[in-house]
């Protein structure tokens, strides 16, 4: 299919007719094939939206600086002011828009909701179909750098037999996907939708990958065990044993007899439970209250940066002139996507919708591969991982990388995926 573009006039015309469509061209007119149609999608943000964004950034009302010399009170004033300075004066969304529009993007309706996705086929024969799911505060921006090494492995240290066809959807309420207007869009329902999507694309066998919410969705796909799903890969596995989870929840000391690897994971989790769960608890309980991040772009950026301590430190260094895997534009591409699609609150509702214990093992019954990055929220020990995934086909601890591994270390991540899923081809 050839992509088509909606101009501002087209969008305004549709808005006048329907009364509820986005100025970003999210909901293109449905093709004649009916609800199962796969419609080409192209981004065309009106310039007025970008002018308004810069105006809001430059009009930010700032608080005083933190009263400590570290990030223990949150995103530091110097970091966010430098982000705002660059965002308001130098950043160019059109570069990101052009990158996205150079890729095949589509919309299709599943279970009454429009789903946006990128679908990039490899030129190599017998490529393995792969669906990759992002998390919060991520988006499809997270996976842009892995598309080329996965679909074209011969140019990135792999062989033709390593090739993947790559499908990268936007979660419901995120990016250019539709925003649910009723309750029920939890990881379980999304997992069913992703299987529908892959089958609608004509795939009779495929694998799935995810981290963060992407892991929750991918594990649910595995639990639903559609016959087409050969196996899964995760870079944020759910492996925490019940006794560990209980001790962490109630502030108890760690159980005796932990190995050094297990004690390291305990220490990481203990820090996260005590200092890193605030954003998740607010979104899990009161997502609608977050009007401030829908109204202030700088407020949104700060909220998104404060996901976990290691990621925040990496991003702070980037804005201090020390790029480490991510650039200033990488970070602002992602934040700007949230802003332009007005998905700050709709994305937060996934925390409210999900009733799953995030780190608890789910008993995945199909082949699973696990990659452990050292700066993840916690580095899952092999002992916990083997119990959580009875059909573990791959476990590897990487030397670098964190929560946004595909974004931060794309070549390493792609090579790991090739190795992890090779046995399922």
Which residues are part of the catalytic machinery?
Answer: 212, 351, 403
Q: For the residues of 67-84, what is the DSSP string, one character each?
A: SSSSSTTSS-HHHHHHHH
Question: By C-alpha distance, which of 344, 370, 362 is closest to 191?
Answer: 362
Strands 229-234 and 206-210: parallel
d(CA 222, CA 424) in angstroms, rounded, equals: 14
d(CA 129, CA 395): 21
Selection from 233, 41, 226 nearest residue 128 by Cα: 233
In sequence order, the 6+-apart residues with CB closer than 8 A to the CB of 187 are 213, 216, 217, 219, 220, 350, 354, 356
Where do the H-state alpha helices sit in 108-259?
144-151, 187-200, 213-224, 242-249
Distance from C-alpha of 118 to C-alpha of 291, rounded to nearest angstrom: 30
In 63-163, which ranges are E strands? 105-110, 113-120, 128-133
- Helical ranges in 201-343 per DSSP H: 213-224, 242-249, 260-275, 278-285, 291-295, 297-305, 309-319, 328-341
* C-alpha torsion angle, residues 129, 132, 133, 135 (rounded to 10): 180
| CA 346 from centroid of its chain's CA atoms | 14
Q: Which tokens is 135 given?
A: 């998390």
- 321 φ/ψ sector (left φ>0, alpha ψ -120 to 50, else beta): left
| Residue 44 buriedness (CB in 10 A; 0-12 / 13-18 / 19+) | middle
User: Do residues 53 and 94 touch, judged by C-beta distance below 8 A?
Assistant: no
Distance CA(336)–CA(92), nearest Å, equals 10
Residue located via tokens 């570069």:
95
Q: How far apart are CA 289 and CA 332, in angstroms?
A: 24
b/e string for 163-176 if b means 16 or more Cβ within 10 A?
Answer: bbbbbbbbbbbbbb
């Amino acid at each position: 299919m050839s992509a088509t573009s909606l101009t501002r006039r087209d969008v305004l015309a549709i808005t006048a007719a329907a009364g509820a469509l986005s100025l970003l061209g999210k909901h293109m007119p449905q093709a004649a094939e009916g609800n199962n149609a796969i419609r080409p999608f192209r981004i065309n943000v009106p310039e007025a939206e970008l002018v308004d964004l810069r105006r809001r950034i430059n009009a930010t009302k700032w608080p005083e600086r933190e009263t400590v010399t570290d990030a223990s009170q949150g995103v530091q004033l110097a970091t966010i002011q430098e982000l705002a300075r660059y965002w308001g004066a130098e950043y160019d969304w059109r570069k990101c828009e052009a990158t996205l529009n150079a890729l095949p993007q589509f919309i299709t309706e599943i279970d009454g909701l429009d789903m946006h996705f990128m679908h990039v086929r490899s030129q190599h024969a017998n490529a393995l179909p792969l669906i990759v799911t992002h998390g919060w505060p991520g988006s499809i921006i997270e996976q842009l750098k892995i598309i080329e090494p996965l679909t074209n492995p011969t140019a990135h240290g792999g062989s033709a037999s390593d090739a993947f066809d790559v499908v990268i959807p936007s979660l419901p309420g995120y990016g250019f996907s539709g925003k649910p207007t009723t309750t029920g869009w939890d990881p379980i329902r999304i997992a069913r939708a992703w299987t529908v999507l892959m089958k609608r694309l004509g795939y009779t066998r495929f694998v799935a990958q995810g981290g963060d919410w992407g892991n929750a969705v991918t594990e649910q796909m595995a639990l639903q065990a559609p016959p087409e799903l050969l196996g899964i890969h995760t870079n944020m596995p759910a492996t925490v044993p019940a006794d560990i989870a209980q001790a962490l929840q109630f502030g108890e000391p760690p159980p005796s007899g932990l190995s050094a690897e297990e004690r390291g994971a305990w220490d990481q989790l203990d820090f996260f439970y005590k200092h890193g769960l605030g954003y998740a608890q607010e979104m899990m309980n009161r997502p609608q209250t977050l009007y401030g991040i829908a109204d202030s772009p700088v407020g949104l950026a700060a909220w998104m940066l404060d996901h976990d301590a290691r990621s925040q430190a990496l991003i702070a260094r980037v804005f201090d002139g020390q790029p480490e895997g991510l650039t200033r534009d990488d970070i602002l591409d992602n934040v700007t996507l949230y802003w332009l699609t007005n998905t700050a609150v709709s994305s937060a509702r996934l925390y409210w919708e999900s009733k799953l214990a995030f780190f608890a093992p789910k008993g995945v019954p199909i082949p699973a591969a696990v990659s452990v990055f050292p700066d993840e929220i916690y580095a899952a020990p092999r002992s916990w991982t083997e119990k959580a995934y009875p059909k573990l086909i791959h476990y590897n601890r990487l030397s670098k990388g964190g929560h946004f591994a595909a974004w931060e270390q794309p070549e390493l991540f792609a090579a790991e995926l090739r190795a992890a899923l090779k046995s399922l081809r």
